[in-house]
Amino acid sequence: MENKNLNEKLAAFRDRMNTRFVGKKDVVEHLLCCFLAGGHILLEDVPGVGKTTLARTFAGSLGLSFGRIQFTPDTMPGDVTGLSVYDMKSGEFRYRPGAVVKNIVLADELNRTSPKTQSALLEAMAEGQVSVDGEIYPLPQPFMVIATQNPLRFTGTYPLPEAQLDRFMMRLSIGYPSAEEEIRMAKAHLEDAANAPVEPILSPEDILQLRKESGKVAMSDAMLSYAQQIVAASRTGQDFLLGASPRALVHLTLAARSRAYLSGRDYVKPDDIKHCAVPVLSHRLLLSAEMKLQKKEAAELLRAMLYQIKVPVE
**Predicted local confidence at residue 34, as pLDDT:** 94
CA 145 to chain centre: 7
**Number of neighbouring beta carbons within 10 Å of residue 7:** 13
DSSP label at residue 218: B
215-307 CATH fold? Helicase, Ruva Protein; domain 3 (1.10.8)
Cis peptide before 142 (omega within 30 of 0): yes
Decide: 40 and 171 in contact? Cβ < 8 Å: no
Q: What is the pLDDT of residues 4-62, one digit of tens each?
A: 688 888 888 888 888 777 667 888 899 999 999 999 999 887 776 677 778 888 888 88
DSSP label at residue 283: G
Which residues does residue 279 pair with via DSSP β-bridges, in sequence order?
none
Q: What is the pLDDT of residues 177-194, one digit of tens each?
A: 677 777 877 777 676 655
**Cα–Cα distance between 97 and 99 in angstroms, integer?**
7
What share of the chain in percent tops pLDDT 70?
Answer: 91
**Predicted local confidence at residue 280, as pLDDT:** 96
Domains of the chain by residue range? 2-200, 215-307
The model's pTM is: 0.88
**Predicted local confidence at residue 1, as pLDDT:** 37
**Predicted local confidence at residue 215, as pLDDT:** 92
| 260 pLDDT more than 90 | yes
Decide: 53 and 22 in contact? Cβ < 8 Å: no
Identify the CA nearest to 175 among candidates 306, 283, 44, 31.
44
Q: What is the pLDDT of residues 202-251, one digit of tens each?
A: 888 888 899 999 999 999 999 999 999 999 999 887 888 888 899 999 99
**Predicted local confidence at residue 17, as pLDDT:** 84
| 2 pLDDT more than 60 | no
List the CATH code of the domain at 2-200. 3.40.50.300
**Cα–Cα distance between 223 and 277 in angstroms, integer?**
13
Alpha-carbon separation of residue 30 from 49, 84, 169 (angstroms): 17, 37, 10
